[in-house]
Chains A and B, each alone.
Chain A
Amino acid sequence: MRHAPLAPDALDGTDRRIINVLQDGFPLTPRPFADAGAELGLAEDELISRIARLREIGAITRFGPFFDAAAMGGDFCLCAMAVPAERFEAVAEAVNARPEVAHNYERDHRLNMWFVLAVEKASDIDRVAKEIEAETGIAVLTFPKLAEFYIGFRVSA
C-alpha cells in the first residue's frame, strides 16, 4: 500500500473531480458509470478507465461498498502491540495473515503496531486478540470504542 505521495502531475483536474465527487457516493442504477459520468461530464468508458488507473497507481485504496461490522451484529476494535524491532516483520506477517485484521499501521511509539479487528460476532474480538497473543507471545492491548464523536472526513484531491 502506497505511503508516499504521487508525483504532482500524476492526477489531472478530471481525476481530482472524480475522487472528490465519488467519495460521497456512487449510484445504485443499472448503468452507474454512465450516470455518474453524466454528472462529471465524462463518457461511461472514460470514467471506468480512469477509476481503473486511479486504483493501479494507488491514488484510491478501494472502490465499492463500505460495510459496518457493528450493524451486522459484529464489532470493530483497535488493538496495539509493542513489537521488538528485530521481530517486527515476522509479527506483522502473522497479524496480517488473520482475515479479521482489517488494517494495520506501523507507528513511531513504543506501542509500534496498531491494527483494527473487524469480526462478525462481537465476542470474537477477545478470542482473536488472545490468539494473536498466544501466537506471537506479545501482549495485545484492546481499545474498544466507548463513544464515537465524529466520522465523515473528506479529502480534497
Chain B
Amino acid sequence: MRIDETDRKLIAETQAGLPLVPEPYAEIGRRLGIAEAAVRDRLAALQARGIVRRIAIAPNHYALGMVANGMSVWDVADEAVARLGPEVGALPFVSHCYLRPRALPVWPYNLFAMVHGESRAEVEEKRGEIARLLGVACRGSDILYSTRILKKTGMRLAANGS
C-alpha cells in the first residue's frame, strides 16, 4: 500500500493548488475533517517518501519571456548514451533530459533534452552546444518547438481510488 485513503484525499484536495488563506493547512484540514497538524505531518511524510516532490510555485516560462521552448531530440549511439546523457543533462540551459526508446522507422531519436530561451535563435545556439558535446556519437537530430499549450494541469488523482 503506497498511500492510505486519507493521503489520497489530501492529494486530491491539494493537487489544483493550496488555498490562498493565512492558514492553508488548517483550511485543508477543515475540508477533510482532519487536524491542521495532521495535514502538515502527512504532507511532510509524503515529501520524505518522494511522493510530494516539493511544495512550491511553478513559474510559467512563456509568461516570463522564455517563449522559445524546444524539445531537442538526438539519435545517439547506444554504447555512448549512458556516458553522454549526464553531460547533456548537466548543461545549465537543459531543463529535462531523458533516454527514451526509438520508434523506428518514424522516430530514430533516443535522447530528449528540453531547451528554453528567449528566442529561437538563442535556443538554436544552445542546440549547437549540445551537438558539439555529442560529437560523432550523434547520428542525427531535430528540434520540436511548442506552438501552443493545450493543457497543463499536472497529475490528477481520483479522490476515491481507482
Contacts and interface: CB of A to CB of B under 8 A. Distances in A.
Tell me whether A and B are bound partners: yes
Interface of A: 1-6, 11, 18-19, 22-26, 28-34, 44-45, 48, 51-52, 54-55, 57-69, 71-73, 78, 80, 92, 95-96, 99-109, 111, 113-115, 118, 120-121, 124, 141, 143-151, 153, 155, 157
Contacts of B95: 151, 153
Contact of A59 (B43, B50, B60): B60
A111 B49 CA distance: 36
Contact of B99 (A18, A63, A124, A149): A149
What is the interface of chain A mostly: helix, strand, loop, or mixed? mixed
B25 A67 contact: no
B52 to A, nearest CB: 5
Contacts of A153: 94-96, 114, 116
Interface in B72-114: 82, 85-86, 88-90, 94-101, 103, 106-107, 112, 114
7 contacts: A3-B147, A44-B22, A59-B59, A64-B17, A71-B49, A104-B151, A148-B96
A18 to B, nearest CB: 7
B58 A23 contact: yes
Residue of B17, B94, B150 ringed by the most chain A CB atoms within 10 A:
B150
Interface of B: 2-3, 11, 14-18, 20-26, 36, 40, 43-44, 46-47, 49-67, 71, 82, 85-86, 88-90, 94-101, 103, 106-107, 112, 114, 116, 142, 144-158, 162
A114 B36 CA distance: 39
Given A3-B62, A141-B106, 5 more contacts: A3-B147, A4-B67, A64-B55, A68-B51, A143-B101
Contact of A96 (B11, B65, B150): B150
Nearest to A105: B146
Given A28-B43, A107-B71, A92 B86 contact: no
Contacts of B14: 64-65
B61 to A, nearest CB: 6
Nearest to A19: B59
